[in-house]
A and B are shown apart, each in its own frame.
Chain A
């Protein structure tokens, strides 16, 4: 499935769940990240239930240095 992750094209090769995308990206266990699908924030407890569709826009953020 073709999706867009942080404005870059990405192929989800195994499955169609948000949790499977995060495993593929090596981010499933990562602390301090937040995820949105088409600008809707998806809480961690919802990752396994959240199905993805072709061309979905995924945003993944984490904290960084700032004032």
Chain B
């Protein structure tokens, strides 16, 4: 069976690996790694223009037809600020797509569920395709689905921590009951984590730090691509069930002594 694309909003993605653009040592390396990853959805942040001191223009590196841009609202602390940031993002990048992230505490960068739900409801009404970054909270994910988000993006573990799927039990519940795509975001530090999430039935993953700060980001991007593809294929092929006892895969007919 050929793997089908993933539909979110009005778009179909052939790659289930979404990527972030942060923390790369150079924009050129970022561009090469993201191209190699096969990713078709790429996040960007927003910042204030400093007319006196303008660095490299990120858009120059992201102008490939392969990439759809997903602006985020990183830096906002409330629903009100998120709605403003979203409107600015729509204007700057000419897209309705939005990664909604509201994390007021810079130490742990944990998303504020109450402000996120409030903002999501308003942004959906304003015509945005909203992908909220949230805790692996099945109840919250259901509430977000009810207000019309296009996908949910629960965390595996804290942003940039590379700890993998520490929230696994709750991610499983979210995947089991979600009617919108589940994109595991944050904490995926190794291709093995990526494969594990896809084997569980996650619809897609968002990976940034693990690729950006790798010794060789281009090769790591390819490794993640392979892991996501392998994990998805394994999910679609339906994994064998674990068993508490040994189950022989060879015949146990004794032939040495009759």
Q: Which of A3-32 contact B (CB under 8 A)?
A: 5-7, 25-27, 31-32
Q: Count how many chain A residues have C-beta atoms less than 8 Å from C-beta atoms of the other chain.
A: 25
**A-contact bits for B13-34, CB 8 A (1 contact / 0 none):** 0000000111110010010000
A61 to B93 CA separation, bound complex (whole angstroms):
11
A41 B23 Cβ-Cβ under 8 A: no
B46 A61 Cβ-Cβ under 8 A: yes
Residue of A nearest to B74 (CB): A66
A56 to B93 CA separation, bound complex (whole angstroms):
25
Q: Count how many chain B residues have C-beta atoms less than 8 Å from C-beta atoms of the other chain.
A: 36
Q: Please count the residue pairs between chain A and chain B whose beta carbons lie under 8 angstroms apart in the complex.
A: 95
Residue of A nearest to B51 (CB): A25
A26 to B209 CA separation, bound complex (whole angstroms):
34
B91 within 8 A of A: yes
In the assembled complex, which residues on chain A have CB atoms less than 8 Å from the CB atom of B48? 6-7, 59-61
| Contact for A67 among B58, B91, B92, B209, CB less than 8 A | B209
Residue of B nearest to A41 (CB): B87
Chain B interface, DSSP helix/strand/loop, else mixed: mixed
A62 to B46 CA separation, bound complex (whole angstroms):
6
B21 A65 Cβ-Cβ under 8 A: yes
In the assembled complex, which residues on chain A have CB atoms less than 8 Å from the CB atom of B71? 63
A6 B50 Cβ-Cβ under 8 A: yes
In the assembled complex, which residues on chain A have CB atoms less than 8 Å from the CB atom of B93? 32, 63
In the assembled complex, which residues on chain B have CB atoms less than 8 Å from the CB atom of A31? 59
**B-contact bits for A30-44, CB 8 A (1 contact / 0 none):** 011111100101011
A5 to B52 CA separation, bound complex (whole angstroms):
12
Besides A27-B49, A33-B49, 5 more A-B contacts (Cβ < 8 Å) are A31-B59, A63-B47, A64-B45, A65-B22, A67-B72
Q: Which of A's residues lie within 8 Å of B, judged by CB?
A: 5-7, 25-27, 31-36, 39, 41, 43-44, 59-67
A-B contact pairs, 16 of them (CB 8 A): A5-B51, A7-B48, A41-B87, A60-B48, A61-B49, A62-B47, A62-B92, A63-B47, A63-B93, A64-B45, A65-B21, A65-B58, A66-B45, A66-B46, A67-B160, A67-B206
